[in-house]
Amino acid sequence: MYAGIYNAASAMDMAERRHELTAHNLAAANIPGFRRRIDIGQAGEQQAETRIDFTQGGLQQTGRPLDVALVGEGFFTVQAPDGSSFYTRAGDWFLTAEGHLTTVDGLPVLAGGRPLRLPQTASENDLQVSETGELRIGEQSLGTLDIVSFEDPSGLQPVGHTLFQASPETAPTFSTARVQQGVRELSNVSIPLELVRMLAGVRNYEAAQRAMQSLTKSIAQRVEN
């Protein structure tokens, strides 16, 4: 009977964790490049394992020159504040007054291992991005976007909503992803699916709670007798 109480408590804990992940996914559903979080833990486990779902998100045509999306497995590379690399699927970029191409977080986009900078006389409407990630202003090549892939993306740790950092054991490899300009990749969150998961989680929590209350009541009655 005590084992039943433990199992019921574990089920409640798991349902609560999944509810939190679902709420997080829903909150970030409209952020381009966001990847949904999933809980693969089972009831009774001491520690749940949360993983990232790296499946492709939907593509939205924007016509904006600084919106670029990857089709296929891969990540854009941006420069972290400490000089290391972050990886992202979010390609909704901005141009600073100095001509630097940055993420929404202000991190420089890397091309050829260096922060990308447009000529001062150029505007965002002059920028052309090929399917291979080469950036051009007219006949002038500015370099090629650093696009990488990972054989085991589970080694990537999330930083904020759309950035990822690779562990020392997770080495980037060549990516065959194609680049589309004037397009941005949306999050891969399905709002209807997450709402269904949330409702199921609430029901699972309530069922486990009722089971615990029933077992606790039975134990109390035995003690009294």
Q: Are residues 6 and 33 in the same domain?
A: yes
* Same domain (yes/no): 121, 168: yes
Same domain, 169 and 113: yes
Residues 22 and 88 in one domain: no
Contact in structure between 161 and 37 (CB atoms under 8 Å): no
CB atoms within 10 A of CB 200: 14
pLDDT in tens, the chain (225 residues): 556 666 656 666 777 788 888 999 999 999 999 999 988 765 544 456 788 999 999 999 999 999 999 999 999 999 999 999 999 999 999 999 999 999 999 999 999 999 999 998 889 999 999 999 999 999 999 999 999 999 989 889 999 999 999 988 888 999 999 999 999 999 999 999 888 887 877 676 666 667 666 666 666 666 666
Q: Are residues 103 and 22 in the same domain?
A: no
pLDDT confidence of residue 75: 98
* In contact, 68 and 180? CB cutoff 8 Å: yes
d(CA 162, CA 92): 11
91 and 199 housed in the same domain:
no
- Euclidean distance between CA atoms 210 and 117, whole angstroms: 61
CB neighbour burial string for 82-98, b if at least 16 within 10 angstroms, e if fewer: eeebbbbbbbbbebeee
Q: Do 70 and 142 meet the contact criterion of CB atoms below 8 Å apart?
A: no
Please say whether the beta carbons of 129 and 71 come within 8 A: no
What DSSP state is assigned to residue 1? -
Whether residues 95 and 132 fall in one domain: yes
What is the residue range of 139's domain? Answer: 59-185
Tell me which residue has tokens 């609430």: 202
Number of domains in the chain: 2
For residue 5, the model assigns a pLDDT of 60
